[in-house]
């Protein structure tokens, strides 16, 4: 009924404004193959240049993803397009033509019919000598590119072919045009009216309700707009309506207006909100779709359950610290059978401490009891050379606090890890990234004023049952410009051990000053020095190499003592970054094994920001499911990068699903391999210690997908029981083939178990 009213209002506006709902082409797409010219030449911007013989490229993906590997520096894109004068009738403002060119990594100059019409980052262009051009590449790569021209601009050739040429400079990494939109259009209402749903996050109110605040900004300083704001929240699968409201609103010039909607229950299946503003005079609508968080992880049961790793490695004689992760109705009591000599389990905290001197494999049992039951699980302690037998689960300060990290923030994060219950699902490290260092005083690294007492901080974190980590660089300075370890490696390792550190992230950064174009020996050298220094301390310190994957570090990281190694540059909270990094990890799968993990960088969920100002992750809920699914399949370290004092129910649901985490923590320590990879979907498989397999199914498109999975084609047998790990629910028995729905940019995680009954009958 309400929907009809809304249509009625819109129609009324359309009739009053005298608009025809049938419109001519409102934009000219530039999303077509462009001619592509690596390098730089004075003739590339011109109209007379002959384009016919060169390579073409799609503007929507960086050039390194289209076969132009390792191309850095200059390159040109060219296309020709007919601009019909009928376009001038479109849009809201009929006097301005807009050229939209997606995003450009890193910076660009745009030429129309041989004449420069705009640029971002390229501050000097000398037509006679392009080589003397100067590119200021920093900070432009993810800025949307829109160039505006008056319709009377003589550079536009109406009703004729026009040549658009873009000169791009890439300082390193992917390079070129990406994302979108790529089009010519008249300046429209949407260029002034801006919805912002991203900044506010979600409010989880009393009684399980969910509120979304969003703003609409009118960026025009001269014009106000009146119209109907429609908010429509619906179940994405069956489109049933959860909330609907239409309101007449006035957006004053230059105003920022806040609106919200509330639904009664936090969704447990995909829900979307469509918000639109229909301007009254023109009938032009501007709308946006927002995916709402939905919770798949079932609530924790009152019965005791032991979570987390089933195996733990320690070196003989090193301090042992392990908190038994367990859930269930409080209070819980903890017991163990067959713990090796030298270890004690505290019955009420569940913390095992002490030291074991005799190398060997110790097969123990952990027992957790409460008023409603008892849980018992096997637990293997390996006393030997290897530590980190399962990927570390924890938190690192970088993605939220950046260089503004402080003692206080580390303490409050540690406390939040315990009090939020994350610790009960196996999350155990609290790692300080860059920003704690002062200088070396008498050969010893001093902490800066933000960290008054590192020893006391370590004691505090340990007292909670958690471990603590630190950061440095083999170079003279860190990436943040603080003091590095160059020349002080042993002294620094001794300091870390004396404070009580359990983890070191060792970040190449300024080591480029020592080895500007490192060969293999130079890549390994600084990491060997610190390996030796750490080993001599007698403390188990997880050694995390960070050098962005140089020299295929996954092939030799273990040989320099690395327990994990970053395989890529830094991640950010966008689909482009997440999917680019995550889906390229197949190349290093075979090098992961217990004690040695590929690290595709930290998690970008929740409130992140890389500095004092945080924002809610830009990833959609589905993309966040993909993030945890893929990183778990990859057996990578899971290091949270968000503010732990702002953990909402959705984020907690992502981080406390014990069946999902068990895939990451499986003692066999195999990294998933991709078995199907194309532009639409991917299938990855991971073998588990018990002989079963897990499938990670990923939808790379922006539409939901019904994926047919042919098990035989993937190399599996005939009959299986399949279980949805996010929902912790059996989906039934399948023979050779099953179909499954995957949300846009979303993932499913399916446990494939041989159906033992049928297996015996065969």
Radius of gyration of the chain (CA): 29
State the Cα–Cα distance between residues 369 and 367, nearest whole angstrom. Answer: 7
State the Cα–Cα distance between residues 748 and 62, nearest whole angstrom. Answer: 27
Closest chain position to ligand GAL (CB)? 479
Does residue 153 have a cis peptide bond before it, meaning omega lies within 30 degrees of 0? no
Q: Please report whether residue 546 would count as binding ligand GAL according to CB under 6 A.
A: yes
State the Cα–Cα distance between residues 225 and 284, nearest whole angstrom. Answer: 11
* CB nearer ligand GAL, residue 383 or residue 479: 479
202, 617 Cβ separation under 8 angstroms? no
Shortest reach from residue 511's CB to ligand GAL, in Å: 11
CB count within 10 Å of CB 309 equals: 24
**Which residues have CB under 8 Å from 49's CB, separation 6+?**
43, 78
Shortest reach from residue 480's CB to ligand GAL, in Å: 4
* CB nearer ligand GAL, residue 196 or residue 570: 570
Catalytic residue among 40, 72, 570, 758: 570
* CB nearer ligand GAL, residue 181 or residue 569: 569
Q: List the beta strands (DSSP E) in 371-484.
A: 373-383, 393-396, 429-431, 437-441, 444-447, 467-472
- Is 434 part of the annotated catalytic residue set? no
Shortest reach from residue 414's CB to ligand GAL, in Å: 19
Shortest reach from residue 570's CB to ligand GAL, in Å: 5
Shortest reach from residue 519's CB to ligand GAL, in Å: 21
CA quadruple 439, 441, 447, 448: dihedral sign: negative
330, 370 Cβ separation under 8 angstroms? yes
Three-class SS of residue 746?
coil
Q: At what angle do helices 454-463 and 489-499 cross, to 10 degrees?
A: 50
Shortest reach from residue 283's CB to ligand GAL, in Å: 49
- Is 108 part of the annotated catalytic residue set? no
* CB nearer ligand GAL, residue 407 or residue 507: 507
Three-class SS of residue 531?
helix
| Closest C-alpha among 505, 495, 511, 427 to residue 461 | 427
State the Cα–Cα distance between residues 215 and 251, nearest whole angstrom. Answer: 11
Residue ranges of alpha helices (H) inside 314-423 are: 398-401, 407-419
CB count within 10 Å of CB 298 equals: 15
Catalytic residue among 105, 188, 434, 507: 507
Three-class SS of residue 677?
strand
Shortest reach from residue 313's CB to ligand GAL, in Å: 25
Residue 503 CA to chain centroid, in angstroms?
A: 22
Q: By CB under 6 A, which span of 150-158, 212-220, 459-467, 477-485 interacts with ligand GAL?
A: 477-485
Q: By CB under 6 A, which span of 409-417, 474-482, 648-656, 690-698 interacts with ligand GAL?
A: 474-482
* CB nearer ligand GAL, residue 478 or residue 495: 478
CA distances from 556 to 460, 473, 564, 568 (A): 35, 19, 11, 15
* CB nearer ligand GAL, residue 436 or residue 720: 436
Q: By CB under 6 A, which span of 63-71, 197-205, 235-243, 473-481 interacts with ligand GAL?
A: 473-481
* CB nearer ligand GAL, residue 96 or residue 431: 431
531, 422 Cβ separation under 8 angstroms? no
* CB nearer ligand GAL, residue 163 or residue 431: 431
* CB nearer ligand GAL, residue 434 or residue 623: 434
Shortest reach from residue 476's CB to ligand GAL, in Å: 14
State the Cα–Cα distance between residues 742 and 391, nearest whole angstrom. Answer: 27
Shortest reach from residue 434's CB to ligand GAL, in Å: 4
Per-residue tokens: 424:
């009960």
Q: Please report whether residue 410 would count as binding ligand GAL according to CB under 6 A.
A: no
* CB nearer ligand GAL, residue 434 or residue 502: 434
State the Cα–Cα distance between residues 297 and 268, nearest whole angstrom. Answer: 9
CA distances from 381 to 309, 355, 428, 651 (A): 11, 12, 17, 31
State the Cα–Cα distance between residues 425 and 394, nearest whole angstrom. Answer: 11
**Which residues have CB under 8 Å from 236's CB, separation 6+?**
269, 270, 271, 272, 291, 704, 743
709-723 in b/e form (b: 16+ CB < 10 A) is: bebeeeebeebbbbb
Shortest reach from residue 433's CB to ligand GAL, in Å: 5
Q: By CB under 6 A, which span of 97-105, 437-445, 475-483, 693-701 interacts with ligand GAL?
A: 475-483
Shortest reach from residue 557's CB to ligand GAL, in Å: 15
334, 366 Cβ separation under 8 angstroms? yes
State the Cα–Cα distance between residues 275 and 287, nearest whole angstrom. Answer: 5
* CB nearer ligand GAL, residue 479 or residue 558: 479
Q: By CB under 6 A, which span of 39-47, 236-244, 472-480, 529-537 interacts with ligand GAL?
A: 472-480
- The single residue among 395, 398, 631, 684 that binds ligand GAL, judged by CB under 6 A, is 398
* CB nearer ligand GAL, residue 322 or residue 565: 565
Site size toward ligand GAL, by CB under 6 A: 10
CA distances from 589 to 35, 43, 640 (A): 36, 45, 22
Three-class SS of residue 469?
strand
Q: Please report whether residue 479 would count as binding ligand GAL according to CB under 6 A.
A: yes
Shortest reach from residue 437's CB to ligand GAL, in Å: 11
Binding mask 416-455 for ligand GAL (x = CB under 6 A): -----------------xx---------------------
Q: What is the DSSP letter of 300?
A: P
Q: Give, as ranges, the residues between 561 and 620 that touch ligand GAL (CB under 6 A).
A: 570
* CB nearer ligand GAL, residue 475 or residue 746: 475
| Closest C-alpha among 598, 463, 469, 578 to residue 534 | 469
Shortest reach from residue 160's CB to ligand GAL, in Å: 49
Q: Give, as ranges, the residues between 482 and 541 that touch ligand GAL (CB under 6 A).
A: 507, 509
Q: At what angle do helices 621-633 and 575-582 cross, to 10 degrees?
A: 20
> Which residues are at the interface with ligand GAL (CB under 6 A)?
398, 433-434, 478-480, 507, 509, 546, 570
The catalytic residue positions are 507, 570
């Amino acid at each position: 009924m309400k929907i009809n009213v809304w249509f009625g209002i819109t129609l009324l506006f359309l009739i009053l404004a005298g608009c025809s709902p049938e419109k001519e082409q409102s934009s000219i797409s530039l999303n077509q193959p462009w001619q592509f010219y690596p390098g730089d030449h004075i003739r590339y911007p011109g109209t007379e240049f002959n384009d016919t013989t060169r390579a073409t490229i799609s503007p929507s993906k960086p050039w390194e993803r289209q076969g132009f590997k390792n191309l850095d520096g200059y390159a040109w894109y060219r296309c020709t397009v007919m601009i019909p004068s009928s376009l001038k009738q479109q849009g809201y403002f009929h006097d301005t033509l807009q050229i939209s060119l997606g995003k450009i990594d890193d910076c660009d100059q745009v030429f129309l019919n041989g004449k420069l019409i705009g640029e971002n980052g390229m501050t000097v262009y000398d037509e006679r000598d392009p080589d003397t051009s100067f590119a200021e590449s920093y900070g432009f790569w993810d800025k949307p590119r829109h160039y505006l021209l008056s319709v009377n601009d003589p550079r536009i050739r109406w009703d004729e072919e026009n040549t658009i040429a873009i000169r791009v400079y890439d300082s390193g990494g992917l390079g070129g045009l990406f994302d979108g939109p790529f089009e010519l259009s008249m300046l429209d209402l949407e260029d002034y009216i801006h919805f912002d749903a991203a900044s506010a996050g979600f409010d989880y109110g009393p009684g399980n309700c969910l509120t979304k605040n969003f703003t609409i900004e009118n960026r025009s300083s001269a014009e106000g707009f009146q119209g109907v704001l429609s908010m429509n929240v619906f179940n994405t699968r069956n489109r049933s309506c959860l909330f609907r409201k239409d309101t007449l609103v006035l957006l004053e010039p230059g105003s920022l207006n806040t609106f919200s909607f509330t639904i009664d229950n936090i969704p447990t299946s995909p829900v979307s909100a469509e918000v639109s503003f229909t301007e009254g005079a023109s009938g032009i609508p501007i709308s946006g779709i927002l995916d709402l968080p939905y919770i798949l992880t079932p609530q924790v049961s009152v019965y005791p359950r032991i979570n987390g790793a089933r195996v733990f490695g320690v070196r003989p004689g090193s301090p042992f610290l392990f908190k038994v992760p367990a859930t269930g109705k409080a209070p819980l009591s903890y017991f163990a059978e067959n713990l090796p000599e030298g270890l004690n389990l505290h019955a009420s905290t569940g913390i095992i401490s002490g030291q074991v001197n005799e190398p060997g494999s110790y097969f123990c049992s952990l027992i957790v009891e409460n008023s409603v039951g008892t849980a018992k699980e096997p637990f293997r302690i390996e006393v030997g050379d290897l530590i980190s037998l399962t990927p570390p689960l924890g938190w690192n300060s970088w993605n939220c606090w950046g260089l503004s990290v402080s003692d206080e923030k580390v303490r409050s994060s540690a406390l939040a890890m315990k009090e939020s219950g994350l610790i009960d699902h196996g999350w155990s490290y609290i790692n300080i990234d860059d920003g704690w260092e002062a200088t070396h005083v008498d050969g010893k690294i001093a902490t800066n004023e933000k960290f008054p007492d590192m020893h006391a901080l370590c004691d505090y974190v340990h007292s909670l049952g958690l471990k603590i980590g630190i950061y440095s660089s083999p170079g003279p300075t860190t990436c943040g410009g603080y003091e590095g370890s160059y020349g002080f490696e042993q002294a620094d390792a001794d300091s870390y051990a004396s404070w009580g550190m359990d983890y070191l992230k060792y970040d190449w950064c300024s080591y480029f000053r020592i080895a500007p174009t490192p060969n293999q020996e130079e890549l390994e050298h600084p990491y060997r020095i610190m390996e030796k220094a750490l080993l001599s301390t007698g403390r188990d310190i997880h050694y995390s190499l960070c050098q962005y994957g140089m020299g295929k570090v996954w092939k030799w990281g273990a040989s320099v003592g690395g327990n994990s190694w970053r395989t890529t540059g830094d991640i950010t909270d966008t689909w482009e970054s997440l999917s680019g990094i995550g889906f390229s990890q197949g190349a290093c799968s075979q090098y992961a094994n217990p004690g040695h993990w590929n690290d595709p960088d930290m998690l970008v969920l929740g409130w992140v920001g890389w500095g004092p100002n945080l924002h809610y992750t830009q990833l959609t809920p589905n993309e966040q499911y993909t993030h945890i699914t893929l990183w778990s399949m990859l057996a990578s370290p899971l290091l949270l990068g968000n503010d732990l004092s702002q953990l909402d129910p959705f984020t907690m649901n992502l981080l406390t699903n014990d069946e999902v985490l068990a895939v990451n923590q499986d003692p066999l320590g195999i990294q998933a391999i991709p078995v199907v990879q194309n532009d639409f979907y991917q299938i990855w498989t991971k073998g588990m210690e018990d002989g079963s397999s897990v499938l990670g199914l990923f939808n790379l498109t922006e539409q939901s997908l019904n994926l047919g999975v042919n098990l035989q084609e993937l190399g599996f047998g005939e009959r299986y029981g399949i279980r949805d790990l996010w929902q912790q629910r059996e989906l039934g028995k399948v023979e050779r083939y099953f179909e499954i729905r995957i949300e846009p940019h979303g993932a499913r995680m399916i446990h494939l178990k041989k159906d033992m009954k049928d297996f015996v009958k065969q």
